[in-house]
Amino acid sequence: MKTLLIVYHSMTGGTRQMAEAAVRGATVEPAVRTVLLRAQDAQPDDVLAADGYLFATPENLASMSGLMKDFFDRTYYAALDRINGRPYAAMVCAGSDGQGAIRQLERIALGWRLKPVAPPVLVITHAQVPAEILRPKTIELTDRQRCEELGGTLAAGLGLGLF
């Protein structure tokens, strides 16, 4: 059985909803075990044990969240040169842009020599003022469906041995 590891961080619930939607999509593949972990709980052994990855983060100040960065700081060297070629995808929840967080995730995945298997899913919440930025988020159904499809795509590819 293959393992898909989904690592996420969420302050206002938006990225958590995206990650949970991806889990729903992934669980339709019986040959793949899906592991959902908050960034602060994920460890190097979790990364090493997985066959594929989905990284989900909010964009904070034009970059990935601090706790997502902490996850990579804690796991990067333990996994370096040990997970080459494994598939990954990314999801970002942003107020207006998201490109900074996407670029960071892509650069880390490149360093790990992971294989991108789908374009990143970017959800824009249009939160522009402090009250909107800090309020709990509700991700629209169409965006949750895109996240679900991404989880399903990763799981199906792993289950079929495509990557």
* pLDDT tier for residue 137 given thresholds of 50, 70 and 90: very high
Q: pTM for the whole thing? A: 0.97
Closest CA to 4 of 41, 57, 46: 46
Q: Which two tokens stand for residue 73?
A: 């700081």
Spans of all domains in the chain: 2-160
Residue positions counted in the chain:
163
Q: Which two tokens stand for residue 157?
A: 């590819």
Neighbours of 114 (CB within 10 A): 22
SS3 percent helix, strand, coil of the chain, rounded to 5, is 45, 25, 35
| CATH fourth-level superfamily of 2-160 | Flavodoxin domain (3.40.50.360)
pLDDT digits (tens, 9 = 90+) for 94-125: 999 999 999 999 999 999 999 999 999 999 99
Q: How far is CA 144 from CA 87, 134, 152, in A?
A: 21, 20, 12
pLDDT at 63: 97
pLDDT digits (tens, 9 = 90+) for 31-67: 999 999 999 999 999 999 999 999 999 999 999 999 9
d(CA 155, CA 52): 8
Closest CA to 48 of 91, 84, 96, 90: 84
Displacement of CA 5 from its chain's centroid (Å): 9
Closest CA to 46 of 72, 14, 84, 13: 72
